[in-house]
Amino acid sequence: MAFCEIRRVLISDSLAPACAQILHSQGDIEVTECPGLTPQELISKIPDYDGLIVRSATKVSSDVLTAATRLKVVGRAGTGVDNVDVDSATKNGIIVMNTPTGNSISAAELTCGLILSLSRQIPQAASSMKQGKWDRKKYMGSELHGKTLGILGLGRIGKEVAVRMQSFQMRTIGYDPVIPPEVTAEFGVEQLLLEEIWEQCDYITVHTPLLPSTTGLINDAAFSKCKRGVQVINCARGGIIDESALLRALESGQCGGAGLDVFTEEPPRDRALVDHPLVISLPHLGASTHEAQNRCGEEIALQIVDLVKGRALVGAVNAPSLSKAFSPQTKPWIKLGEALGTVLFHLLPKISGEIRVTTTGDSLKNSGSFLCSAVAIGLLQSTEMKVNLVNSCLFANEVGIQMTSQHSVESVETRLEVSTEGLHLVGALSGSTPCLIQIGPSHFRSPVSLSGTVLLWAGETNIPKLLGVLSAAGSNLQTFHSSGGYSVAGISAPLSDPSPLGSCRQITL
- Concerning whether 266 is annotated as a catalytic residue, the answer is yes
List all residues 6 or more positions away from 240 whose beta carbon is below 8 Å from its beta carbon. Answer: 206, 208, 210, 214, 215, 216, 217, 218, 234
List all residues 6 or more positions away from 292 whose beta carbon is below 8 Å from its beta carbon. Answer: 102, 103, 105, 106, 107
Strand ranges of the sheet holding 30-33, from the earlier edge strand across to the other edge = 30-33, 8-11, 51-54, 73-76, 95-98
Residue tagged active-site, from 266, 398, 413, 421: 266
448 CA to centre of own chain: 36
| Direct distance between the N- and C-terminal alpha carbons of the chain, in angstroms, rounded to an integer | 15
Q: What share of the chain is helix, strand, coil (3-state, %, to 5)?
A: 35, 25, 40
Q: CA 90, CA 101: separation in Å to the nearest integer?
A: 23
Count helices and strands in the chain by DSSP H and E runs: 16, 22
- Concerning whether 237 is annotated as a catalytic residue, the answer is yes
Residue tagged active-site, from 55, 237, 415, 481: 237
As a whole number of Å, the CA-based R_g of the chain is 29
Helix, coil or strand: residue 403: strand
- Concerning whether 356 is annotated as a catalytic residue, the answer is no
Residue tagged active-site, from 164, 284, 346, 407: 284
Q: CA 417, CA 150: separation in Å to the nearest integer?
A: 49
21: buried, middle or exposed (CB in 10 Å: 19+, 13-18, 0-12)?
Answer: middle
Contact 401, 418 (CB under 8 A): no
Contact 287, 78 (CB under 8 A): yes
β-bridge partners, 490: 454, 479
Q: CA 125, CA 133: separation in Å to the nearest integer?
A: 9
Q: Which amino acid is at 126?
A: A
Q: CA 362, CA 364: separation in Å to the nearest integer?
A: 5
User: From the CB of residue 382, how many other CB atoms can be counted at a distance below 10 Å?
Assistant: 8
Host H or E run for residue 430: strand 423-430
Q: CA 78, CA 454: separation in Å to the nearest integer?
A: 48
Contact 356, 375 (CB under 8 A): no
Host H or E run for residue 442: strand 442-449
Residues annotated as catalytic are: 237, 266, 284
